[in-house]
Copies of this chain bind each other. A is one copy, B any other.
Amino acid sequence: MDFLLWEQFRIHETLGLDSAEQRDIIQTNMANARAWAEGPLAQSYKETDEQEAYLADGKVVLPDSYPGLYQGFSEMWTQWQDGAAQGTAMPPIVQNLIIEMFMAGNASFMTYVGFSQPAKSLLRAHGSDDLNATYGPALQDMRATACLCITEKGAGSDLSKLSALATKQDDGRYLLTGHKWLISAGSHEMTDNIYYFVLARTDPKQTGMAGLSCFLVPRYRIDEAGAHRIDNGIRVNEVVTKMGFKGCANTHLLFGEDGVETQAFLLGRMEGTGLQQLMMMMKPARISTGIFALGLASSAHETSVAYSQQRVQGKRFDRAMSARAPSLPIAEHPDVRRMRLDMAAYTSGCRAMIARLGLYQSFEDDPSQPEDLRRAADDISEVLLPIVKAYTSDKAWVVCETAIQTHGGVGFTRDYPAQQNARDCKVLSIWEGTNHIQALFLFRDKLGMCVQPKRLNTLRAAIEDTLARAEATGALDKDVHNLRDALAALGDATAAARDCVRYQRMNDVPQFAVELQAALGDIVIAWHLLEAAEIALKALASGDADAAFYADKVDIARHFLRRRLPQSAASLRAIAGEMQDVVATQLAKTQAA
């Protein structure tokens, strides 16, 4: 993480955080976050699995440690916020790293606090002054948590089928009826209040994506004096049981269906703008999912490497049958090293990608940055967004599998956490829009159906910069060649997709979208690993102290670019060929007609 901040992304220069004081604050915050993540959070991880959230007498019971964790988090976070308000540096790139540590410590717990920040922005942007005055303070000082309620039983990824209904009364109030399903961190007793941000219809006759509004629906309404909490009629009908993430209560919520009315407060001045309002939630939710996945994968990676260093078993390949040959720590066996390099490539590559997104967010938010830099940052961020969500969550499953395998037999037991990491992470390829939906989002919205190459060209130009620097080292020739080859294959695939769109075969592209997204993800990871290797080679040449660390950066990059990336290029050429066949068939049909 230090390497990312001060060597790969050089935030002292790029973000102007060049004073010793600023650096100090960041390092102190990072150290405090680490201590809390490795301490109370990580210590509660196994308990989180053993004390699955459940429903008793209408209330959700969480693992014993959660109220204490919530208090610890609130104190730390509000302190940082106060610091940030006083101008103390906590740029998004640092926040992303800190959140990763928390996710690695106990991801289930983090679902209870994860939506607070976006909820504040939503309320500030679209809530009335009255609403902000009444409900804002508890969100600010964390006496209330926030929770996003979109999904219903009949409408998972398809919002056009939502049916929850907010009916406007003669006195202007909205009363909500209906249900929401699989709502993460949907209820608990850790705070005085919970704010549900609910997507609902106001007119039962409207169907489809139109006519959806977003409401703030508090668990307890606050009376005019601000003193009393009034039951707002929200009931928990079920807490589903899951393969992992067991501390996160995924709830079936009923609104206004128990004889007690549920009041809902419309966000914005008019009905029907809920989807647009929630758009601003999508970006942080997708990044956050990527960080969830990265945290779980990092944890699996680190615990398995630690195990492999202390577990002594087996001998060198050519001396396997010799009674006198020494047994080795399994970390020294070639395949355990191969597994470590795979895990390190995915986790450090994804970490760098997510750090870049944080850096670019600072550029975008800062009008003093040059316009072309801000535009490039925006282009690249848009392309990276679905990849951060989908690629990181898909690879987390692979990393966790590798971590289990590294442990051997004990990896399958619940005595070691890698299997819990695997079980926990599986939801991440599904929620916040499945990874196929991310791939459609990439193809349609981010790459402009491959007909508008602007954003992708910006990304390619940035990668070319890195390639030129890597080439100049003279030590990464094979790697540079492989990444150039993968970029050429990407060009083939996007050209073929574009032709499908041009020749009326647009519907043939989605079947290849997941592979396109996965291969583009590999290219992005390769880019970041190559960038790190180039920096590491320079550090090695300058005789830096920690030679093993930098040499490992080079090894990780070479491993990925030589042994994994060629498969992505092959996959891109394969789908390009399939799409070219589609186009050729279509052209033959047109000519015949």
Contacts and interface: CB of A to CB of B under 8 A. Distances in A.
Contacts of A405: 429-430, 434-435
B409 A431 contact: yes
A71 interface: no
Contact of A207 (B323, B415, B436, B562): B323
Nearest to A334: B511
Contacts of A567: 567, 570-571, 574
A314 B436 CA distance: 12
A408 B157 contact: yes
Interface stretch (A15-23, A170-178, A186-194, A238-246): A238-246
Most buried by B among A161, A335, A338, A571: A335
A125 interface: no
Contact of A570 (B156, B241, B317, B570): B570
A542 interface: no
Interface in A574-593: 574-575, 577-578
A427 B409 CA distance: 7
A210 B322 CA distance: 10
A317 B506 contact: yes
Most buried by B among A182, A337, A408, A415: A408
Contacts of A315: 158, 160
**A interface SS class:** helix
A412 interface: yes
Given A313-B161, A335-B439, A419 B243 contact: yes
Interface string A403-417: 011001101111100
A158 B322 CA distance: 12
Contacts of A509: 317
A534 interface: no
B409 A419 contact: no
Interface in A325-348: 327, 333-335, 337-338
Interface in A539-593: 562-563, 566-567, 569-571, 573-575, 577-578
A510 interface: yes
A422 interface: yes
A316 interface: yes
Contacts of A436: 333, 335
Contact of A415 (B241, B415, B440): B241
A581 to B, nearest CB: 8
A321 interface: yes
A323 to B, nearest CB: 3
A33 interface: no
A578 B408 CA distance: 27
A413 to B, nearest CB: 5
A501 to B, nearest CB: 10
Contact of A240 (B322, B415, B434): B415
The 6 closest A-B pairs by CB, nearest first: A208-B323, A334-B511, A570-B570, A243-B419, A335-B436, A567-B567
9 contacts: A151-B409, A156-B409, A160-B327, A317-B440, A317-B506, A334-B511, A335-B439, A401-B426, A422-B426
Given A240-B414, A317-B440, 4 more contacts: A160-B323, A208-B322, A208-B323, A317-B509
